[in-house]
Amino acid sequence: MNTFIKYCFCSQFKEFLGTYNKLTENCFMDCVKDFTTREVKPEESTCSESCLQNYLKMTQRISMRFQEYHIQQNEALAQKAGLMGPR
């Protein structure tokens, strides 16, 4: 494996860990309120699962919008270059 590929993999992994840590901290701070017991309360568990689901839905929506934006940009560039007729 060459150095560039290793660098890209490490960079992506660091970004993933940063996102994971931020998500964990945000959901923990929003959902866990009672530190008087070692057990996770059902409402804390439900809240954390909901928090994660909301994050995943948001990430999916952003990804879809990002793809739509790039498709529009590529079509606009192709029209400017005369490669496509108007829609």
pLDDT, tens only, 20-43 = 999 999 999 999 999 999 999 999
Is residue 46 within 8 Å of 30, Cβ to Cβ? no
pTM of the model: 0.65
Residue 86 lies in a domain: no
Q: What is the pLDDT of residue 11?
A: 86
- Tell me which residues of the chain have a pLDDT lower than 50: none
Q: What is the pLDDT of residue 3?
A: 82
Is residue 47 within 8 Å of 30, Cβ to Cβ? yes
Q: What is the CATH number of the domain that holds 57?
A: 1.10.287.810
Angle, CA of 46, 30 and 22, to the nearest 5°: 105
Residue 14 lies in a domain: yes
Angle, CA of 6, 21 and 23, to the nearest 5°: 120
Residue 87 lies in a domain: no
Q: How far apart are the C-alpha atoms of 32 and 48, rounded to whole Å?
A: 8
Residue 77 lies in a domain: yes
Q: Which domain holds residue 36?
A: 1-81
As for how many domains the chain has, the answer is 1
Q: What is the pLDDT of residue 4?
A: 72
